Amino acid sequence: MSDPKVTTAHLRRAAAVYCRQSTLIQAERNRESTLRQYDLASRAAALGWPRSAIRVIDADLGVSGSGWRPRAGFTELTEQIALGQVGIVLALEVSRLARSSAEWYRLLGAPRGAVYSCGDGRAPPPGRRSGLVKLEAA
């Protein structure tokens, strides 16, 4: 599977799969959702990333995205993005990534041309309809 939004420049960087469940109970009881999130690594591979370049970030399983508690996995993700190490971010749905404007700004501070994917087809950042979004702003 290829997508015209994914370029060789993206493929030179890592693919980041971000997995999160809001509570430990959800992580334990909703195993299907967790497994679907881990399976996004297969989507990255189908888009052209070698398995060795796919980073699964799952430190936030059982951590709410409400913003009242720091998320180590989200911090790791945004640091890798800021350093230009990530060519694509895959998450099951947009609410797994960020819920506040401040968090979206951290994500959208990505290097020009970064790609975001929401596996369930929900609208990624506001104003976007595609499941695969290429950021064009500098």
* Strand-strand pairing, 14-21 and 86-91: parallel
Give the whole-angstrom CA distance, residue 41 versus residue 6. 15
Domain 8-134: top CATH class? alpha beta
Q: Where are the domains of the chain?
A: 8-134
Give CA angle at 68 (63, 69), nearest 5°: 45
Task: Give the three-state DSSP class for 86.
Answer: strand
**What per-residue confidence (pLDDT) applies to 117?**
54
Could you report the per-residue pLDDT of 46-103, keeping only the tens digit for each? 999 999 999 999 998 888 777 677 889 988 998 888 888 888 888 887 767 777 667 7
Give the whole-angstrom CA distance, residue 5 versus residue 75. 26
Residues that are catalytic: 22
For the entire predicted model, the pTM comes to: 0.75
